[in-house]
């Protein structure tokens, strides 16, 4: 594949979810940096846009809440692996993030008294989740996209590249100098003083996921091939309640419905989660997912049922219109009947090891949002802490980069390590199904070893590779990284459940580096 040219910029941002958009807008407002924002698909296509629940942040709207309580809830949810310093830095910055989003035109729901309406979600002792109906992510990213387009039209120094995929970071063993991008016109080398991974999640590594098609673990794969450190790759959160219906996608049924009063039922209409934890449906996601899995295994079920009717019809229609509409498309009236649900891959707690301001082990390379691993989430993410982390990291990185200057001279990219070929599975869907079965919610040494020994794959030369080949290669690489980390953690902790090591170890390390 022919390279069409070499270009330069100050900051190269890969990804257009909350983290990438907010970073771009913050830099445009507070610096003179030249920016390039790279979108794998369209500008509005991201994991952030699919987020239903909201942003967990203490803003003073709940007089019984405090950042300290939020911090304690986060540590408890993380099952002993949360980094206390990272958690404190992010959680105590929640107010700043909400002020920044307000400034950019993001509208959160308010109650009849005009105060912010706060939702209660699993693992939270207090209502603190700011939301916009049940499409919070879409509301946030739509507002930020509109601001970004306006800035571009006003002549701000930003280039937006849609339908463009990063296929390689341009790195040596100490520094990142930019990235190689693939678009319809071919390959381009972009030199950047600062390269930012804001590529989102990796749910599409698994056959059953709540994530959009763009969430294929590209940033983790790029970082790993470039030599950056990864951490906590075994900790993939499976959302407990995703639609389970033949012929339908694993549509997320927001945790907020359980916070509002929805209950989980088995095939005989019996509530069951309190068998496993006193908090019942409001236990943390790992607990609820494990309870669902156990009940499904006991009775050889493909699903359990989420009953929204205890919330009340009027509140359901007012608070969760997207869930009502989406379920109706598949013949389910949530006002009259429970919804069949089962866990699905949802969120990556691990990723590229990064500080809260996005710095990684490679100079010039940063990771923010879901692609990054700060240690905030530990072994199990507290609900709605993800958008909080993405936004705070974007603001902290903008603080760091606001005085950036373009490095002088051109880099000799030919002298950097080259990527000659990638490994792709012969049948991508078969590999994704194997990941869901053998490296998904419940793991064992035999299943994980089978992923690592997966033979139905081939080498694909870079010069003949298309965009879908890079995507398949990233899924295959990231899946094996997850399996390797999961095999090395010989215990069950948080979202990592080994049926051959069901106990939690007394001694453990927070970071399982790859």
Does an H or E element contain 446, and which? helix 445-452
Q: What letter would DSSP give residue 110?
A: B
Q: Exposed (0-12), middle (13-18) or buried (19+): which is 364, by Cβ within 10 Å?
A: buried
**Which tokens belong to 390?**
């993405």
DSSP string across 242-266: EE--TTS---B--THHHHTT-EEE-
Any catalytic annotation for residue 285? yes
- What does residue 89 show for φ and ψ, rounded to 5 degrees? -60, -40
- Catalytic, out of 128, 225, 258, 285: 285
421-425 and 457-461 strand pairing: antiparallel
Q: What letter would DSSP give residue 505?
A: P
**Which tokens belong to 135?**
């499409």
Q: Exposed (0-12), middle (13-18) or buried (19+): which is 64, by Cβ within 10 Å?
A: exposed
DSSP string across 162-228: -S-EEEEEEE-SSBEEEEEEEETTEEEEEEEEEEEE-----GGGSSSBSS-TT-S-HHHHHHHHHT-
Query: Could you give the CA distance from residue 477 to residue 484 in angstroms, rounded to a whole number?
Result: 11
Nearest to 305 by CA among 314, 296, 313: 296
| 3 state SS of 283 | coil
Residues marked active site are found at: 285
């Amino acid at each position: 594949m022919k390279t069409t040219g070499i270009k330069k910029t100050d900051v190269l941002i890969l990804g257009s979810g909350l983290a990438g958009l907010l970073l771009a807008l913050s830099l445009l407002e507070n610096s003179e940096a030249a920016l390039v924002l790279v979108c794998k698909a369209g500008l509005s296509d991201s994991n952030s846009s699919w987020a239903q629940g909201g942003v967990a942040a203490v803003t003073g709207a709940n007089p019984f809440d405090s950042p300290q309580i939020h911090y304690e809830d986060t540590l408890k949810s993380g099952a002993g692996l949360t980094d206390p310093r990272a958690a404190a830095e992010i959680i105590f910055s929640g107010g700043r993030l909400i002020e920044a989003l307000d400034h950019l035109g993001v509208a959160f729901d308010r109650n009849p008294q005009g105060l912010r309406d706060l939702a209660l979600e699993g693992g939270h002792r207090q209502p603190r989740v700011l939301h916009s109906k049940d499409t919070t992510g879409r509301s946030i990213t739509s507002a930020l996209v509109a601001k970004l387009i306006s800035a571009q039209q006003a002549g701000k120094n930003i280039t937006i590249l849609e339908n463009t995929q990063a296929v390689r970071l341009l790195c040596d063993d100490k520094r990142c100098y930019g990235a190689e991008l693939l678009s319809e016109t071919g390959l381009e080398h972009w030199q950047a003083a600062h390269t930012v991974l804001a590529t989102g999640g990796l749910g599409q590594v698994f056959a059953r996921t709540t994530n959009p098609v763009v969430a294929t673990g590209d940033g983790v794969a790029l970082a790993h091939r470039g030599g950056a450190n990864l951490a906590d790759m075994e900790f993939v959160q499976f959302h407990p309640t995703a639609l389970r219906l033949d012929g339908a996608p694993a549509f997320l049924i927001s945790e907020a419905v359980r916070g509002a009063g929805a209950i989980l039922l088995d095939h005989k209409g019996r509530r069951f989660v309190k068998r496993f934890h006193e908090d019942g449906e409001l236990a943390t996601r790992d607990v609820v997912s494990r309870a669902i899995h156990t009940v499904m295994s006991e009775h050889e079920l493909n699903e359990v049922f989420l009953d929204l009717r205890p919330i009340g019809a009027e509140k359901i229609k007012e608070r969760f219109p997207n869930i009502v509409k989406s379920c109706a498309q598949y013949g389910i009236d949530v006002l009259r009947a429970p919804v069949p649900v089962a866990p699905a891959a949802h969120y990556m707690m691990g990723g590229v090891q990064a500080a809260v301001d996005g710095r990684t082990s490679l100079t010039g390379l940063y990771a923010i949002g879901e692609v990054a691993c700060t240690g905030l989430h530990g072994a199990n993410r507290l609900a709605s802490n993800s958008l909080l982390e993405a936004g705070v990291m974007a603001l902290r990185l903008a603080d760091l980069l606001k005085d950036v200057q373009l490095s002088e001279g051109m880099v000799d990219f030919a002298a950097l390590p080259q990527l000659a070929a990638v490994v792709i599975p012969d049948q991508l869907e078969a590999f994704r199904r194997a990941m869901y079965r053998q490296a998904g919610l419940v793991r064992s040494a035999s299943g994980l070893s089978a992923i690592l020994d997966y033979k139905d794959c081939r080498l694909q030369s870079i010069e003949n590779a298309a965009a879908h080949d890079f995507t398949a290669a990233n899924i295959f690489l990231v899946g094996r990284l997850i399996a390797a980390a999961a095999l090395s953690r010989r215990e069950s902790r948080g979202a990592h459940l080994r049926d051959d090591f069901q106990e939690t170890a007394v001694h453990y390390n927070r970071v399982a580096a790859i």
